[in-house]
């Protein structure tokens, strides 16, 4: 054993030469699409760019808000928020950070050419005013309690370098000047991103002098790169490899629950739901509109089996929209228990004792094991008499049809499996998008593909979104969640688990938002 | 000259038809919008994005818009990266060319001698081993072989890096190149070996070889000059076509080894339905195949004086 190891070490040194001790090498499942922090509002981009850039408000590993470039913030009247900026912060080129940079960044963020997913949602409808060099006021037309959450999503760039700069200028590094703990060194799309420690950083100095990120999309290759010692840390560890990696004495695992829920959405708004038929194949009035049928479906699902068998333990069964500990979740809601007999009774009460026919649609390349979960659900429903056909497809087709596939540009399916990650880290995000009544002009219910609509739930959500006081807002959100879940607006299945694997001697503080941050990687000596 | 001009014209027609097929095909496959956007976007933001990409217009309009731009040399901007599709492809081309030529070289340098040996001594155990090996090279799936190479040489032995690319023509770069090049070369090597063997066996029986031997030429000269030259025609034809394949479709190897080349870009673009990149990629691929075929035709006439390019007209 020791002999083996000494040979291995010798070979390692001979071939590789010792990598500098302060280098950190990270293998990422998803690469960012640009180095422009306002180009693409997507986890891989935001995660990587938070090394170079910072926001006024940060999010910790459980997505609680923390002071970042703003030292403090408060609502000074019903519609105005005041942000006090941190003093003595400098950009990587040495220019001081001031309110001008903040105003500039929020002006730039919604207007990036060709941006596939714009930061406009966080900046539009707000008026930014510089009070002095270190104070900014943000005004909205109506009270807006989510201001700090919104502000935490937009990175502050240097005005000096950002003026007129387009996305390619950031990709080349010319404009990629931020205030963050790391400085831009190299970006080769498809290959690697290299960063150097910012020795003038205002906060805690990061442990690693140089960080190399490499995109290794293929799961087995990413694991192999870690096993071979070519990278020190990988994210999105495939569930199939977990058992083996856990046993490996050369590795450590870091995991935590994710802000992403996997859930089922059912058709609430059509009597003639397109993928629901009677047992004889003839059209029937959709039983999905009856809350007892929806509840029966939820009771027929064995969430423990899905978590342990399909997800190989890499998930936590869910009873609401976000796991415990997040802002605005209900303390009363628990996962619905597995009760096939009770489910059959409910079906009988609802007038469909023999069940009916239905199709579940699911993507097969979007969430871990998505197609397999749909198959499991289909089998479980068939057991209580709802003959369920399972149709899975690639995400490009699935999301188009699920959102706008019907002849009148509405949802095409009756019963779907989807997921939702709450970027803001609080319950208004899923409530607003999944359960509020679909309303294009108000921007509500954008992903409400079942068209669930309950005026009381809408009122609670709207009240919450107009309440600046945290405790009161949390309570309103929890009550909205309880009401919508009681109604079975959606059927929660499980929360995903985020997993990182590291070489022994390294540690990682796992995060709910799936971000992989070099600043959170420690040396466990 | 007429021959070359006609070829170029034919290829333009092929490019046009191909772009139409891909355009309509990708449109039917799905919608990139819902893959690209973040969950939090509102309906109005989504509409704004769809309009910006021009995806709200009918396909034929989008296609004519594309043609008009393409005529000016603009193949459109990637939906995902927001940069010109052509630039993205050219950026990744050196990595792919490096890998493809390394694999190509390996296939020739090892494949031809092995095949000739097996052809000259068909009954020897070594020849049988070579032929058995070539069957494996044909039939084992590339991604599996790639993973096995990583497991053995990177994970277990720790001799070579598992994935990624180093700097071009440095020691580190060559070490990174070794495994993916072998992986990519394996299939071609098996092919070349078998072609060379078949050709050698046929040539060895022909009169000119007997005559050369009778004339008292050294066996080395007979094999390395006379036989070799005669088996090259089929080998060149096949390799020419295969080189195009190596460059354009080394998708699997690039994915397994996280090699930052065009193949990886293509597969990522297909998954994200990044139509401008897919179309631009295939346009470039078609042009490349046309050029390679042209070179092969010209090489024929150099290798085999009986071939006259004018005859191709018939």
pLDDT digits (tens, 9 = 90+) for B7-59: 778 878 888 888 888 888 888 877 888 888 888 888 888 888 888 888 888 88
Nearest CA in chain B to A219: B256
Residue partners of A7: CB distance under 8 A and separation at least 6:
none
In tens, the pLDDT along A398-456 reads 998 999 888 888 999 999 999 999 888 899 999 999 999 999 988 899 999 999 999 99
- Looking up tokens 């139509």 gives B275
Residue A497, beta-bridge partner list? A257
Residue A161 to chain B, least CA–CA distance (Å):
20
Give contacts of B44 with chain A, Cβ < 8 Å: 440-441, 443
In tens, the pLDDT along A269-318 reads 999 999 999 999 899 999 999 999 999 999 999 999 999 999 999 999 99
Distances (CA, A) of B71 to B64, B74, B76: 10, 7, 11
Residue B158 to chain A, least CA–CA distance (Å):
6
The average pLDDT across B83-87 equals: 91
Residue B157 to chain A, least CA–CA distance (Å):
7
**What confidence category does residue A12 fall into, taking pLDDT thresholds of 50, 70 and 90?**
very low
**For all residues of chain A together, what is the average pLDDT?**
92
Question: What does the alpha-carbon distance between residue A372 and residue A125 come to, in Å, rounded to a whole number?
Answer: 42
pLDDT for A134 beyond 60:
yes
Question: What does the alpha-carbon distance between residue B213 and residue B206 come to, in Å, rounded to a whole number?
Answer: 11
Give contacts of B31 with chain A, Cβ < 8 Å: 396-397, 399-400
Q: What is the pTM for the complete model shown? A: 0.87
Q: For strands A490-503 and A251-266, give the pairing.
A: antiparallel
Nearest CA in chain A to B155: A228
Question: What does the alpha-carbon distance between residue A143 and residue B148 come to, in Å, rounded to a whole number?
Answer: 60
Better-scored residue on pLDDT, B286 or A60: A60
Contact A228 B258 (CB under 8 A): no
Taking the Cβ of residue A118 and every Cβ of chain B, the question of whether any pair is shorter than 8 Å is answered with: yes
Confidence at residue A16, expressed as pLDDT on a 0 to 100 scale: 46
Residue A96, beta-bridge partner list? A90
Confidence at residue B309, expressed as pLDDT on a 0 to 100 scale: 58
Residue A225 to chain B, least CA–CA distance (Å):
5
- Looking up tokens 């217009």 gives B57
Contact B30 A394 (CB under 8 A): yes
Confidence at residue B312, expressed as pLDDT on a 0 to 100 scale: 47
Distances (CA, A) of B185 to A401, B114, B154, B182: 42, 14, 18, 5
Q: Evaluate whether A329 touches A323 at the Cβ level (below 8 Å).
A: yes
pLDDT for A93 beyond 90:
yes
Residue A28, beta-bridge partner list? A215
In tens, the pLDDT along B218-246 reads 878 887 777 887 788 888 888 877 888 88
> Which of B43, B95, B257 minimises the CB distance to A443?
B43
Residue B196, φ and ψ in degrees, nearest 5: -65, -40
Give contacts of A441 with chain B, Cβ < 8 Å: 44
> Which of B36, B43, B162 minimises the CB distance to A446?
B43
Tell me which of A15-24, A144-153, B169-178 is least confident: A15-24
**What confidence category does residue A258 fall into, taking pLDDT thresholds of 50, 70 and 90?**
very high
Confidence at residue A101, expressed as pLDDT on a 0 to 100 scale: 96
A positions 19-58 inside 8 Å of B (CB)? 27, 33-34, 39-42
pLDDT for A37 beyond 60:
yes
The average pLDDT across B53-82 equals: 87
Chain A interface disruption, residue of B32, B82, B152, most A CBs within 10 A? B82
Q: Evaluate whether A515 touches A486 at the Cβ level (below 8 Å).
A: no
Q: Alpha helices, DSSP H only, in A328-469?
A: 340-349, 370-383, 395-404, 428-430, 455-464
Q: Evaluate whether A254 touches B186 at the Cβ level (below 8 Å).
A: no
Q: Hey, which bits of chain B come out as E strands? A: none
Confidence at residue B173, expressed as pLDDT on a 0 to 100 scale: 87
Better-scored residue on pLDDT, A135 or B52: A135
> Which of A188, A216, A421 minimises the CB distance to B39?
A421
Give contacts of A397 with chain B, Cβ < 8 Å: 29-31
Give contacts of A394 with chain B, Cβ < 8 Å: 29-30
pLDDT for A15 beyond 80:
no
pLDDT for B311 beyond 50:
no
Confidence at residue B222, expressed as pLDDT on a 0 to 100 scale: 80
Encode A166-189: b = buried (16+ Cβ within 10 Å), e = exposed: ebbbbbeeebbbbbbbbbbeebeb
Question: DSSP string of B12-40?
Answer: HHHHHHHHHHHHHHHHHH--SHHHHS-TT
Half-sphere exposure of A317 (CA within 13 A, CB side): 17
Q: Alpha helices, DSSP H only, in A233-369?
A: 239-247, 291-299, 303-305, 340-349
**DSSP secondary structure letter of residue A110:** G
Better-scored residue on pLDDT, B293 or A377: A377
Better-scored residue on pLDDT, B216 or B62: B62
Residue B251 to chain A, least CA–CA distance (Å):
12
Confidence at residue A256, expressed as pLDDT on a 0 to 100 scale: 95
- Looking up tokens 């090699």 gives B259
pLDDT for A19 beyond 70:
no
| Helix, coil or strand: residue B146 | helix
pLDDT for B88 beyond 70:
yes
Q: Evaluate whether A330 touches A247 at the Cβ level (below 8 Å).
A: no
Contact B162 A113 (CB under 8 A): no
Question: DSSP string of A355-373?
Answer: --EEEEEEESSSSTTHHHH
Q: Evaluate whether A300 touches A399 at the Cβ level (below 8 Å).
A: no
Contact A441 B92 (CB under 8 A): no
**What confidence category does residue B149 fall into, taking pLDDT thresholds of 50, 70 and 90?**
very high
């Amino acid at each position: 054993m020791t002999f083996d190891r000494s040979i291995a070490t010798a070979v390692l040194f001979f071939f590789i030469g010792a990598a500098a001790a302060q280098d950190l090498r990270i293998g990422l499942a998803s690469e960012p699409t640009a180095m422009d922090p306002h180009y693409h509002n997507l986890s891989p981009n935001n995660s990587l760019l938070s090394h170079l850039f910072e926001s006024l408000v940060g999010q910790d590993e459980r997505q609680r808000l923390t002071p970042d470039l703003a030292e403090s913030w408060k609502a000074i009247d019903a519609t105005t928020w005041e942000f006090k900026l941190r003093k003595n912060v400098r950009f990587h080129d040495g220019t001081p950070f001031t309110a001008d940079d903040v105003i500039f960044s929020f002006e730039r963020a919604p207007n990036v050419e060709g941006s596939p997913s714009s930061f406009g949602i966080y900046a539009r409808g707000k008026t930014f005013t510089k009070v002095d060099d270190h104070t900014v006021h943000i005004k909205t037309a109506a009270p807006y309690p989510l201001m700090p959450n919104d502000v935490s999503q937009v990175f502050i760039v240097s005005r000096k370098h950002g003026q007129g700069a387009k996305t390619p200028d950031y990709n080349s590094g010319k404009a990629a000047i931020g205030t963050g703990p790391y400085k831009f060194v190299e970006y080769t799309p498809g290959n690697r991103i290299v960063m150097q420690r910012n020795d003038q950083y205002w906060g805690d100095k990061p442990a690693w002098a140089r960080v190399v990120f490499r995109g290794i999309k293929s799961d087995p290759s990413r694991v192999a790169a870690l096993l071979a010692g070519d990278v020190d840390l990988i994210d999105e560890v495939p569930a199939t490899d977990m058992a083996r990696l856990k046993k490996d004495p050369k590795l450590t695992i870091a995991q935590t629950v994710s802000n992403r829920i996997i859930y089922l959405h059912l058709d609430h708004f059509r009597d003639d739901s397109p993928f629901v038929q009677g047992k004889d194949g003839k059209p029937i009035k959709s039983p999905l509109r009856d809350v007892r049928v929806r509840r029966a479906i939820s009771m027929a699902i064995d969430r423990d089996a899905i978590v342990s068998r399909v997800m190989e333990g890499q998930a936590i069964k869910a009873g609401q929209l976000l796991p415990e500990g997040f802002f605005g979740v209900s303390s009363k809601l628990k996962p619905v228990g597995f009760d096939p007999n009770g489910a059959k009774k409910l079906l009988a009460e609802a007038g469909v004792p023999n069940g009916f026919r239905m199709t579940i649609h699911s993507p097969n390349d979007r969430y871990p094991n998505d197609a397999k979960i749909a198959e499991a659900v289909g089998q479980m429903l068939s057991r209580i008499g709802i003959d369920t056909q399972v149709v899975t497809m690639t995400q490009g087709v699935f999301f188009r049809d699920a959102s706008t596939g019907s002849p009148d540009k509405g949802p095409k399916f009756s019963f779907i499996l989807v997921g939702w990650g709450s970027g803001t880290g609080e319950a208004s995000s899923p409530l607003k998008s999944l359960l509020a009544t679909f309303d294009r002009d108000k921007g509500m219910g954008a992903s409400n593909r079942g068209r669930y609509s309950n005026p009381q739930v809408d009122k609670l959500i709207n009240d919450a979104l107009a309440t600046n006081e945290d405790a009161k807002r949390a309570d309103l959100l929890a009550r909205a969640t309880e009401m919508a879940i009681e109604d079975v607006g959606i059927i929660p299945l499980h929360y995903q688990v985020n997993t990182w694997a590291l070489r022994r001697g390294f540690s990682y503080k796992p995060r709910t938002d799936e971000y992989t941050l070099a600043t959170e990687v420690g040396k466990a000596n | 000259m007429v021959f070359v001009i006609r070829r170029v014209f034919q290829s333009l027609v092929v490019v046009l038809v191909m772009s139409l097929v891909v355009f309509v095909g990708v449109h039917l496959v799905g919608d990139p919008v819902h893959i690209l956007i973040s969950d939090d976007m509102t309906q109005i933001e989504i509409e704004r994005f769809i309009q910006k990409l021009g995806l709200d217009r009918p396909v034929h309009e989008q296609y004519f818009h594309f043609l008009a731009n393409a005529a000016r040399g603009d193949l459109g901007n990637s939906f995902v990266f927001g940069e010109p599709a052509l630039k993205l492809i050219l950026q990744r081309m050196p990595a792919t060319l490096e890998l493809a030529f390394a694999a190509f070289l390996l296939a020739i340098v090892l494949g031809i001698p092995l095949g000739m040996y097996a052809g000259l001594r068909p009954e020897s155990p070594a020849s049988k081993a070579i032929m058995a090996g070539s069957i494996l090279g044909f039939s084992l799936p590339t991604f599996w072989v790639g993973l096995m190479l990583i497991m053995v040489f990177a994970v277990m032995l720790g001799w070579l890096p598992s994935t990624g690319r180093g700097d071009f023509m440095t020691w580190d770069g060559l070490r990174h190149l070794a495994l993916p090049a072998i992986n990519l070369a394996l299939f071609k090597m098996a092919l070349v070996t078998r072609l060379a063997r078949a050709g050698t066996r046929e040539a060895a029986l022909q009169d000119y070889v007997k005559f050369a031997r009778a004339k008292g030429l050294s066996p080395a000269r007979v094999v390395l000059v006379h036989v070799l030259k005669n088996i090259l025609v089929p080998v060149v034809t096949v390799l020419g076509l295969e080189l195009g394949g190596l460059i354009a479709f080394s998708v699997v190897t690039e994915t397994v080894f996280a090699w930052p080349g065009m193949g990886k870009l293509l597969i990522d673009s297909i998954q994200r339905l990044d139509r401008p990149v897919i179309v631009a990629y295939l346009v470039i691929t078609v042009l490349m195949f046309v050029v390679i075929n042209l070179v092969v035709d010209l090489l024929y006439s150099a290798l085999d004086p009986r071939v006259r390019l004018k005859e191709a007209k018939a």
